[in-house]
Amino acid sequence: MYFLEAHHFFLYVHAYGGFSMSDGIFLLVFERYASVFYPTFRSSKVYKFWFIALICAHIFGLVSYLYLMVTVRTTVSAMTAMSSLTILYVITFILVAVLLCLSKKRYYETLGLVSLAKRFMLSESYELCRSTLPAIIVSSLLNIGYCITTWLLALGYLFQDVFYEYFAFGNVILKLSPFYVNSVVAHNGVQKLDGHSIELFQTQNEYFDQLRSSWS
C-alpha cells in the first residue's frame, strides 16, 4: 500500500517537473520580450496584470498536464500531453533565437537615443538568450526525438521490449535531472556584447558612469 502511494506521488512529481521546466522557460522569454520592446514594462501597472494572468495560465496548464498524464493515463491523453510539451519547447526555441537577434539589433540602434538603464536591459536580454540558447536547443532536440519515437511505439512501429533501455534513459534525462552544487562562485561583474567584462567593485553611480563611458 505504501509503495503504491509513493509511486502515485512520484508520478505527480515527475509530471510536474516536466511541465514546469518548459513552461518556466517560456514565461521567462515572454518577460524578456516585453523588456526589450517596452523597457519600462516592469515598473508599469500593466506588468502586475500580465504577471497574474501568466501565473493563472501556468496553473491551468499544469493542472491540465497533470490530469492527462497522471489522472487519465490513457495512451491518447499521454501522447497529447507529451506532444503539447514538445510544441512548447519548439516555440520557446524559436522565441529565444529571434529575441537574441532583436535584442542585439536594438542595442546598437538605440546607441545615444535612450537612457543607459534601458540599454542595460537590452544587454541583459541578449546575454540571457546567448547563454541559454544552447541548452534550449539540446532540450528541444531531445524532446522532439523522444516524442517522435514514442509516437512510433504507440502506433506499433517500434517494440518496447527492444527499445526499453532507450525509453527509460530518455524518460530520466528529459524529466528527472538531479544535480549537486559543490561550490558557489560569486561573479562581481557584467559582460558586454563585445565580450569584455566590467568589474563591479564600486558604487552604483560609479558603475553606471563606467557603463556610460564604455557603451558611448
Q: Where are the domains of the chain?
A: 2-178, 179-216
80: left (phi over 0), alpha (psi -120 to 50) or beta: alpha
The whole-model pTM stands at: 0.61
Which tens digit of pLDDT belongs to each residue from 13-50? 777 877 887 777 777 777 777 777 776 666 677 777 88
How, if at all, do strands 197-199 and 189-191 pair?
antiparallel
Please say if the pLDDT value at position 82 is more than 60. yes
Residues 87-92 have a mean pLDDT of 83
pLDDT at position 208? 62
For the cut 80, the answer to whether the pLDDT of residue 95 exceeds it is yes
The pLDDT value recorded for residue 100 is: 78
126 C-beta neighbours (distance < 10 Å), count = 24
Q: Cα(26)–Cα(176) distance, rounded to whole angstroms? A: 19
